[in-house]
Amino acid sequence: MQSVPLHVIHLDQDDPKKCTSRKLHQIGLINLHETATSAPRRGYLLDPRAKTVLAPEDGGLISLGGSIVVLDCSWKHIEESLDLIDGRTRLEGRILPLLLAANPVSWGKVGRLSSAEALGASLAILGLWEQARAVVEPFPFGNQFFDLNREPLEAYSSADSRTDILDIQTEFFN
């Protein structure tokens, strides 16, 4: 199985006890960075302002060693946090298609995923289900995330194009 390098730009804005990226770093599943400039140069930055949706076709860059990078910040400060790192990385921005959060802070909210959920969703969309499950498994809500989003994630991961992803998203989240 291919293993995708996973990275987090951590801005230290959330409660450390609830921080999924810190736990993933402690158990060795991700690399943690305090600045955008120390993050990898090739790959995708999960960015809710991006114009391009993550799709299975993004697997090409990943197969060449590209990384998936998440910005770990408070949802309350998302705009200013994204502005802070804007232009400081060469990563290509990707937005995730809509999914339901299962984490206790944002349970049931569309798109309000934790860092672990976002990484797991990205991997699932790219067809890397084993690594996706490994990323969310350490959390009590991990299995519930995949239960809540099983149908859309399966559909997203088998889509042929970004257009298909957007059509599927509309089917599930109209």
- Is 1 a domain residue? no
Classify 43 in phi/psi space as left (phi over 0), alpha (psi -120 to 50) or beta. Answer: left
Mean pLDDT on 38-61 = 88
Task: Name residue 110's beta-bridge partners.
Answer: 100
Q: 4-30 pLDDT, tens per residue?
A: 999 988 776 566 676 788 899 899 998
Per the domain annotation, does 114 fall within a domain?
yes
Please check whether residue 132 is in contact with residue 123, taking contact to mean a CB–CB distance below 8 angstroms. Answer: yes
Better pLDDT: 42 or 127 = 127
Provide the number of structural domains found in the chain.
1
User: Residues 149, 99: contact at Cβ < 8 Å?
Assistant: yes
Q: Is residue 41 part of a domain?
A: yes
Helix (H/G/I), strand (E/B), else coil: 77: helix
List the domain range (segments joined by +) for residue 46: 6-172
What is the Cα–Cα distance from 45 to 115, expressed in whole angstroms? Answer: 12
Per-residue pLDDT tens digits for 127-159: 999 999 999 999 999 999 999 999 999 999 999
> Whole-angstrom distance between the N-terminal and C-terminal Cα of the chain?
35
- Residue 133 domain-assigned? yes
Does 69 fall in a domain?
A: yes
